[in-house]
């Protein structure tokens, strides 16, 4: 397999030289049907990848690479429940959380669909109780605020989705998210809230994550001080598998919601980790979200590679990362409610594929995860788009755009839509010196002034982008978008021969922080054995605190 992948990459390198002679705009001029050839659809979702530096020959080479890496076999192993997470010896079956096919999902010879359905219904029943005011606080009031305390996958997913789907939230029931161990996060979130009508969700599979449990302990102390120790059971619930630790905290067993070790943290939004979202938008909309994800699962599982949206997304990323040597990828949603979507994708992509070791233990032989970043349009246009248009680095972009707004002004949306299309066109076409000279001449500038100004107004163009266009951002569509990127990450991991389901780099920092914690907390603790910088910084902090 490795030899076939190497050969496929070599063919792509040779092909790049050929494609490099053609501008993207020229490819459009040469082929009136280019848009029709380089697109794929799933329901009302259109993936337009025509503004890329590719031809039909490029696509054929990329598909050869995918087959050389045995992408189809690895995809089938993923859905079959094989232990594709090699370093932790477990499957990666987040797709089971949104499986509506009727097919069994097998883990170690056992169908887990019944367990998934039962846990989901337990979560839904609790969500209904909160939404309908049946489940109340210690003083008898209905809950007005829900605070999810988690970090990483226990925060980024639900926080992103709750903001994205805010038009579908129940009026009078607000959702908040606390993640940072910085006490300002918790303090600022709780400052305007009435604790007597606030429900806390502690989201931690192990119930031992340092940041989460520090925030949870502080929230518990505040509730106990304000409402009494007996109120803890009424104002806290948990998403965890550690029932003994949860009970010790004071949370009732019927308010504990679990998930399974075959669900990775950054893939857990579909599970009980989505409890805050389920409370906010309600069980029906949450199920729509799941069904959107399931539609993409079926598409990824069955669609031919050349029509398979996550496959195409992943292969285009490999084309730029490994053949063109581009180290960053931007995601720009033209939707303010998707403001946290790039941050969510940062964890999904870079925690999954930010690896330098192959599945078999050897070092990778090609670049892996690019830097993922982005902000909503049009804000980004007035910040970093200058670099995207005229900077020295080329950054491929994914634009996300709805045809119509949800709970927003239609006139505003026309402007938003126009801006997105204009940016994609401008990045692709650019503006030549000849065009600039003509514009400046028409403006009446002198020859000398025009000659001095013209170089600053030239745009090289040839900046590639994809556009995901859909009717509207609703729960089902958000489910589709999240699942598309999940499977895109898997596609790239298959090409790079890495395990996208572990995160040992995260564990190192936790381990070192646990070692340093006692030294930082105790001004008398010895810093002997620490490196010079760490010891010096601790000593300087002590001097500042003393002053």
Does the active-site annotation cover 351? Answer: yes
Report the CATH number that the domain containing residue 246 is assigned in CATH: 3.40.50.10490
Angle at 485 between CA 26 and CA 169, to 5 degrees: 120
Report whether pLDDT(460) > 90: yes
pLDDT digits (tens, 9 = 90+) for 311-342: 999 999 999 999 999 999 999 999 999 999 99
pLDDT digits (tens, 9 = 90+) for 89-145: 999 999 999 999 999 999 999 999 999 999 999 999 999 999 999 999 999 999 999
Q: Tell me if 389 is assigned to some domain.
A: yes
CB 353 within 8 A of CB 500: yes
210-227 helix and 183-190 helix, angle to the nearest 10 degrees: 40
Count of all residues that appear for the chain in the document: 547
Report whether pLDDT(208) > 80: yes
Same domain, 360 and 272: no
For residue 196, what pLDDT band results from cuts at 50, 70 and 90? very high
Q: Tell me if 137 is assigned to some domain.
A: yes
Average pLDDT, the chain: 96
Measured between alpha carbons, how far is 8 from 66 in angstroms, rounded to an integer?
9
Same domain, 468 and 517: no
- Domain-ending residue, one of 282, 314, 329: 282
Q: What is the pLDDT, as a whole number, of residue 35?
A: 98
- DSSP strand pairing (371-373 vs 45-48): unpaired
Q: Tell me if 256 is assigned to some domain.
A: yes
Measured between alpha carbons, how far is 16 from 367 in angstroms, rounded to an integer?
17
Same domain, 311 and 413: yes
Q: What is the pLDDT, as a whole number, of residue 221?
A: 98
Same domain, 363 and 263: no
Measured between alpha carbons, how far is 511 from 529 in angstroms, rounded to an integer?
16
Measured between alpha carbons, how far is 393 from 388 in angstroms, rounded to an integer?
8
210-227 helix and 504-521 helix, angle to the nearest 10 degrees: 50
Q: Which residue shows structure tokens 């969700």?
A: 201
The two tokens of residue 481 are: 């978008």
Measured between alpha carbons, how far is 395 from 373 in angstroms, rounded to an integer?
10
Measured between alpha carbons, how far is 82 from 76 in angstroms, rounded to an integer?
9
Q: Which residue shows structure tokens 């590639």?
A: 464
Give me the domain span that covers residue 213.
Answer: 106-282
Same domain, 237 and 272: yes
Same domain, 489 and 514: no
Measured between alpha carbons, how far is 352 from 349 in angstroms, rounded to an integer?
5
Per the residue annotation, which of 287, 351, 375, 486 is the catalytic one?
351
Residue of 513, 510, 515 whose CA lies nearest to 526: 515
CB 458 within 8 A of CB 426: no
Q: Tell me if 290 is assigned to some domain.
A: no
Measured between alpha carbons, how far is 135 from 146 in angstroms, rounded to an integer?
13
Same domain, 316 and 255: no
Q: What is the pLDDT, as a whole number, of residue 508?
A: 87
CB 436 within 8 A of CB 390: no
Same domain, 366 and 487: yes
Per cent of the chain over pLDDT 70 is 100
CB 157 within 8 A of CB 273: yes
- Domain-ending residue, one of 223, 247, 282: 282
Q: Tell me if 81 is assigned to some domain.
A: no
Report whether pLDDT(498) > 90: yes
Measured between alpha carbons, how far is 304 from 245 in angstroms, rounded to an integer?
47
Per the residue annotation, which of 37, 248, 284, 510 is the catalytic one?
510
Q: Tell me if 217 is assigned to some domain.
A: yes
* Residues contacting 352, CB < 8 A, separation 6+: 266, 369, 489, 493, 500, 501, 503
Burial class (CB in 10 A: 0-12, 13-18, 19+), 283: middle
Burial class (CB in 10 A: 0-12, 13-18, 19+), 360: exposed
Report whether pLDDT(546) > 90: no
Complete DSSP assignment for 462-494: ---EEEEEES---HHHHHHHHHHHHHHHHHHHH
Per the residue annotation, which of 21, 382, 442, 456 is the catalytic one?
382
Q: What is the pLDDT, as a whole number, of residue 2?
A: 86
Average pLDDT score over residue span 175-199: 98
75: left (phi over 0), alpha (psi -120 to 50) or beta: alpha
Average pLDDT score over residue span 493-512: 93
Same domain, 403 and 347: yes
- How many structural domains compose the chain? 3
* Mean pLDDT lowest among 159-163, 373-377, 410-414, 505-509: 505-509
Q: What is the pLDDT, as a whole number, of residue 511?
A: 87
Report whether pLDDT(436) > 90: yes
pLDDT digits (tens, 9 = 90+) for 42-92: 999 999 999 999 999 999 999 999 999 999 999 999 999 999 999 999 999
Report whether pLDDT(168) > 70: yes
- DSSP strand pairing (236-239 vs 198-203): parallel
Measured between alpha carbons, how far is 374 from 479 in angstroms, rounded to an integer?
20
Does the active-site annotation cover 382? Answer: yes
Q: Tell me if 82 is assigned to some domain.
A: no
Same domain, 154 and 276: yes
pLDDT digits (tens, 9 = 90+) for 355-376: 999 999 999 999 999 999 999 9
* Residues contacting 453, CB < 8 A, separation 6+: 440, 445
CB atoms near residue 302 (< 10 Å): 8
Report whether pLDDT(547) > 80: no
Q: Tell me if 83 is assigned to some domain.
A: no
Query: For the whole model, what pTM was predicted?
Result: 0.96
* Residues contacting 370, CB < 8 A, separation 6+: 317, 320, 321, 326, 327, 328, 329
Same domain, 142 and 252: yes
Same domain, 343 and 383: yes
CB atoms near residue 498 (< 10 Å): 21
pLDDT digits (tens, 9 = 90+) for 254-301: 999 999 999 999 999 999 999 999 999 999 999 999 999 999 999 999
Task: Please give the sequence-ordered ranges of beta strands (E in DSSP) within 335-487, or none if there are none.
Answer: 371-373, 397-402, 465-470
């Amino acid at each position: 397999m490795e030899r076939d992948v190497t050969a496929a990459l070599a063919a792509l390198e040779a092909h790049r030289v050929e494609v490099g002679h053609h501008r993207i705009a020229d490819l459009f001029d040469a082929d009136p049907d280019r848009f029709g050839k380089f697109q794929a659809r799933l329901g009302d979702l259109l993936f337009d990848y025509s503004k890329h530096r590719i031809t039909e020959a490029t696509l054929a080479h990329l598909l050869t690479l995918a087959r050389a890496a045995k992408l189809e076999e690895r995809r089938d192993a993923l859905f079959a429940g094989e232990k594709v997470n090699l370093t932790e010896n477990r499957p990666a079956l987040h797709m089971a959380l949104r499986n509506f096919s009727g097919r069994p999902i097998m883990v170690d010879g056992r169908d887990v669909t019944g367990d998934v359905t039962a846990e989901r219904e337990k979560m839904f029943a609790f969500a209904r109780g909160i939404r309908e005011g049946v489940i109340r606080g210690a003083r008898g009031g209905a809950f007005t605020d829900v605070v999810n305390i988690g970090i990483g996958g226990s925060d980024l997913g639900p926080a992103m989705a709750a903001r994205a789907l805010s038009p579908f939230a129940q009026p009078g029931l607000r959702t908040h998210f606390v993640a940072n161990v910085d006490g300002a996060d918790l303090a600022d979130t709780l400052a305007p809230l009435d604790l007597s009508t606030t429900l806390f969700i502690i989201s931690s599979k192990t119930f031992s994550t340092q940041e989460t449990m520090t925030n949870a302990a502080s929230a518990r102390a505040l509730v106990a001080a304000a409402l009494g120790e007996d109120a803890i059971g009424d104002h806290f619930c948990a998403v965890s598998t550690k029932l003994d630790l949860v009970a010790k905290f004071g949370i009732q067993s019927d308010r504990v919601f679990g998930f399974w070790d075959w669900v990775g943290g950054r893939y857990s939004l579909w599970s009980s980790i989505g409890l805050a979202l389920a409370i906010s938008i309600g069980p029906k909309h949450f199920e729509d979200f799941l069904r959107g994800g399931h539609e993409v699962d079926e598409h990824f599982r069955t669609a031919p590679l050349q029509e398979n949206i996550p496959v195409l997304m992943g292969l285009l990323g490999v084309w730029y990362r490994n053949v063109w040597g581009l180290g960053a990828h931007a995601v720009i949603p033209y939707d303010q409610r998707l403001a946290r979507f790039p941050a969510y994708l940062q964890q999904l992509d870079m925690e999954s594929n930010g690896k330098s070791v192959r599945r078999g233990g050897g070092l990778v032989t090609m670049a892996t995860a690019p830097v993922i970043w982005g902000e909503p349009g049009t804000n980004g246009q007035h910040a970093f788009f200058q670099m995207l248009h005229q900077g020295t680095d080329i950054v491929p972009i994914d634009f996300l755009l709805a045809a119509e707004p949800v709970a927003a002004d239609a006139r505003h949306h026309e402007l938003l839509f126009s801006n997105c299309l204009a940016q994609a066109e401008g990045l692709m076409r650019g503006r030549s010196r000849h065009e600039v000279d003509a514009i400046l001449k028409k403006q009446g500038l002198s020859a000398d002034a025009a000659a001095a100004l013209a170089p600053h107004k030239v745009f090289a163009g040839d900046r590639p982008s994809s556009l995901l266009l859909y009717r509207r951002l609703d729960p089902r569509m958000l489910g589709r978008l999240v699942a598309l990127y999940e499977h895109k990450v898997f596609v790239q991991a298959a090409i790079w021969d890495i395990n996208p389901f572990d995160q040992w780099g995260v564990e190192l920092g936790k381990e070192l922080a646990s070692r340093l914690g006692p030294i930082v907390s105790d001004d008398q603790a010895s810093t002997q054995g620490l490196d010079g910088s760490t010891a010096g910084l601790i000593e300087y902090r002590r001097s500042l605190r003393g002053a």
